[in-house]
């Protein structure tokens, strides 16, 4: 099994949701290996699934429109580089990744996710506008439980900023 997930890695489910691996555990009664992972959107729920199911291929008879080969595929969220002009960011393959890029990318997204108030989230988003990748902006939109705008990098950024500005304005105006 060469595709065993490791803590901290990010995976995309074939239904296009992002998750981060917490650990691979062992069932105390059966010895079955289980993947414990957390959603990077919505309420950030934590889930467990048998490793064999986690690394299995998508049932293409049941889901013929799905292009992804595996149920969960590893992705690397990378920061934008100066040479990219299309605004599109591809996920790195496992052979192309570097631990330094992973650490930088994780810190960028985690800074946003760890911000406690809408104002703090907005500041992180604006300060790092040029650094956020398309994948990270998709995770930001998912974490706010909003649509991704036009689906482009700029559209997702605008959707997140507009939402956060509205929340900041109305949250601060409420009587406590």
CATH number reported for the structural domain that contains residue 47 in this entry = 2.30.30.320
Residues 164 and 106 in one domain: yes
Please indicate, yes or no, if residue 94 is contained in any of the structural domains: no
Residue 26 is predicted with a pLDDT of 94
**Whole-angstrom distance, CA of residue 147 vs CA of residue 145:** 7
pLDDT at residue 70 in the model: 92
- Phi first, then psi, for residue 36 (nearest 5°) are -105, 125
Query: What per-residue confidence (pLDDT) applies to 84?
Result: 38
Counts of helices then strands in the chain (DSSP H, E): 5, 5
Structure tokens belonging to residue 68: 């992804």
Nearest to 16 by CA among 45, 40, 34: 40
In a domain? residue 83: no
Last residue of a domain, one of 75, 108, 128: 75
Q: What is the C-alpha to C-alpha distance for residues 120 and 113, in angstroms, rounded to an integer?
A: 10
Q: Does 57 lie in the same domain as 104?
A: no
pTM of the model: 0.47
Contact 4, 24 (CB under 8 A): yes
- Residue at 81 is within a domain: no
Which residues in the chain show pLDDT less than 70?
1-2, 77-106, 148-150, 172-176
Residue 93 placed within a domain: no
Distance CA 57, CA 158 (A): 35
**Residue 48 and residue 14 share a domain:** yes
What is the spatial distance between Cα 111 and Cα 139, in angstroms, rounded to a whole number?
13
Is 45 part of any domain?
yes
What gap in Å lies between CA 20 and CA 151, rounded to an integer? 22
Asked if 40 and 19 count as a contact pair (C-beta separation under 8 A), the reply is yes
Q: What range defines the domain where residue 163 resides?
A: 99-171
20 and 70 both lie in a single domain: yes
Question: Does some domain include residue 122?
Answer: yes
Does any domain span residue 85? Answer: no
Question: How many structural domains is the chain composed of?
Answer: 2
Q: Are 48 and 80 in contact (CB under 8 A)?
A: no
Structure tokens at 113: 């996710």
Question: Is position 56 within any domain?
Answer: yes
């Amino acid at each position: 099994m060469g595709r065993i997930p490791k803590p901290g890695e990010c995976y995309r489910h074939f239904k296009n949701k992002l998750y981060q691996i917490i650990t691979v555990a062992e069932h105390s009664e059966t010895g079955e290996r289980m993947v414990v992972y957390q959603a990077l959107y919505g309420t950030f729920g934590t889930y467990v699934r048998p490793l064999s199911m986690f690394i299995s291929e998508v049932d293409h008879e049941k889901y013929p429109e799905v292009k992804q080969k595996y149920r969960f595929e590893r992705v690397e969220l990378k920061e934008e580089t100066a040479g990219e002009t299309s605004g599109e960011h591809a996920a790195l393959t496992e052979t192309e990744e570097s631990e330094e890029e992973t650490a930088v990318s994780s810190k960028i997204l985690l800074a946003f996710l760890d911000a406690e108030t809408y104002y703090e989230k907005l500041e992180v988003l604006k300060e790092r506008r040029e650094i956020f990748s398309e994948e990270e902006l998709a995770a930001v939109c998912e974490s706010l439980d909003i649509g991704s705008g036009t689906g482009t990098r700029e559209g997702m950024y605008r959707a997140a900023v507009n939402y956060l500005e509205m929340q900041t304005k109305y949250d601060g105006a409420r009587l406590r």
